[in-house]
Structure 1
Amino acid sequence: MKIGTDGVLLGAWTSVEKNPFSVLDIGAGTGVLSLMLAQRSFAELIDAIEIDADAYEQCTDNFENSPWNDRLFCYHASLEEFTEEIDDKYDLIISNPPFYSEDYKTEDSSRDLARFADALPFEELLSCASKLLSPEGTFSVIIPFKEEPSFLSKALEYGLYPSRILHVKGNPDSSFKRSLIEFSRYQATTEISELTIEISRHNYTEVYKELTKDFYLKM
């Protein structure tokens, strides 16, 4: 599984100003979000959950070979199983969930599992995140822009309120494709901003470069 722009954006944009002690990465894949947060924060406990066996093995290898291996741990489990077993609460929960919503599937079951929304329904994600989040914690997620209204409405049912939202488009002429949203348990004014990734093909905007510069070898 390649590292995509969605993951890099979410890992770079998510706030660590509250200095979280514990972090949970839901649907870790290769572990890129956990690794980015290990680089960006002083969190002492960074747990990840990954249900796909191959991705879990790759994530574990990446954790073990990183400079922060003493702070990182990956569980091979579903989110539902993990939520039932774990009593801990997390100061920061982050997720780049599968949300590929077309009504067909490929011959590659691992790719389907990573991309199709039925692998992790949004309602399950919100329900489990609300159970695992500490009282002062933050939940950060990236979803399709078109799903934002329904996702926000569903989040309110679980006592999660948007504090920051970033709308992302690929280039100046395209429509918005992604919404990055940070939730807390407290109702407050929502800070909404916009980001364009490229001016033209591989010609990245200064805002995107500034946000992600610590995570690319070349930009």
Structure 2
Amino acid sequence: MSNNYFKFKQFRINQEGSAMKVGTDGVLLGAWTEIDGTDRILDIGTGSGLIAIMLAQRTNVNAKIDAVEIDDSAYEQASENINNCLWSHKIHAYHLSFQDFCNKTEANGYDRIVSNPPYFMNGLNAKGEARTKARSANHLPFEELVVGAKKLLKPTGTLSVILPIEEGEYFERIARLNGFYARRKVSVLPNPGKPAKRYLLEFSLQEVVLQDYSLAIENGQRHVYTAEYMTLTKDFYLKF
């Protein structure tokens, strides 16, 4: 398999123009996000378009998905992947920052907002300008993401993200300070008994009982996957 593309069961992601390549984080978020009763979705920082396309595959025929991307090359890549997928009629890509998109968009319009957000803070930057922009929270601070999401969500809507543990805990605090309640929280473990590496987090504007559980990816051996992970991602990965 070439590093320039990633083949899924029903679509292909070309990624030579995207700083952030297809990875477990994006696939997890695209497969895990709840879609029941969903008509409008916003994907913040769509990158290659992966999560938007996964959600388009999963949602009903009338669902509409908006995908926002600030980086020039990533936007072009996302547009290509969206145009080439089976559900291109569902997805519209926007080439601007989330802050500008939020300012131009009517409030309370989305059932779901999802983001695999940039998370490098405190001056820690990735190598390369495009990768830095994709991963640095300097371009989209958590506070601005949360405040914008609160404006754009319907009162019954949800915000879902995936983040490393430390950044996820900080994001939880920011969300709570801005009126969000944690609804689902999944600790993602590389193997059973190992420390969690990621949190899948879902927030609601309505107070609910938190569902808090864990998900292991591999079953103690490299490339031997747990039943739970395979069940979650089986509609996408060719190997499942």
TM, length-normalised to structure 1: 0.94
> Partners in 1 of 2:206 and 2:88 — Cα distance?
33
Q: How does 1:80-159 map to 2 (within 5 A)?
A: 80-88=99-107, 89-101=109-121, 103-159=123-179
Q: Over the residues paired in the alignment, what is the CA RMSD in angstroms?
A: 1.5
**Cα distance, 1:100 vs structure 2:** 3.1
> Partners in 1 of 2:127 and 2:238 — Cα distance?
34
**Cα distance, 1:8 vs structure 2:** 0.4
Report the secondary structure of 1:154's partner residue: helix
Q: What corresponds to 1:60 in structure 2?
A: 79
Match of residue 48, structure 2, among 20, 25, 30: 30
More deviation, 69-78/156-165: 156-165
More deviation, 114-123/148-157: 148-157
Report the secondary structure of 1:111's partner residue: helix
Match of residue 78, structure 1, among 82, 94, 97: 97
**Cα distance, 1:104 vs structure 2:** 4.1
Structure 2 unaligned runs (5+)? 1-19
Q: What corresponds to 2:30 in structure 1?
A: 11
Aligned pair count?
A: 218
Are positions 1:165 and 2:185 aligned together?
A: yes
1:106 to 1:193, Cα distance in 2 relative to 1, 3 A: closer
**8 A contact 2:125–2:135 mirrored in 1:** no
Identity within the alignment, %: 46
Q: What corresponds to 2:11 in structure 1?
A: none
Q: What corresponds to 1:201 in structure 2?
A: 222
Report the secondary structure of 1:215's partner residue: coil
Report the secondary structure of 2:209's partner residue: coil
**Cα distance, 1:107 vs structure 2:** 4.9
> Partners in 2 of 1:148 and 1:2 — Cα distance?
21
> Partners in 2 of 1:206 and 1:22 — Cα distance?
31
TM, length-normalised to structure 2: 0.86
Report the secondary structure of 1:195's partner residue: strand
Q: What corresponds to 2:233 in structure 1?
A: 212
> Partners in 1 of 2:77 and 2:52 — Cα distance?
13
**Cα distance, 1:57 vs structure 2:** 0.3
**Residues 108-141 of structure 1 deviation map (CA, whole Å, 9 limit, x = unaligned):** 1001111222222111111111111111111111
Structure 1 unaligned runs (5+)? none
> Partners in 2 of 1:189 and 1:29 — Cα distance?
32
Q: What corresponds to 1:21 in structure 2?
A: 39
> Partners in 2 of 1:102 and 1:201 — Cα distance?
33
> Partners in 2 of 1:139 and 1:64 — Cα distance?
26
More deviation, 67-76/151-160: 151-160
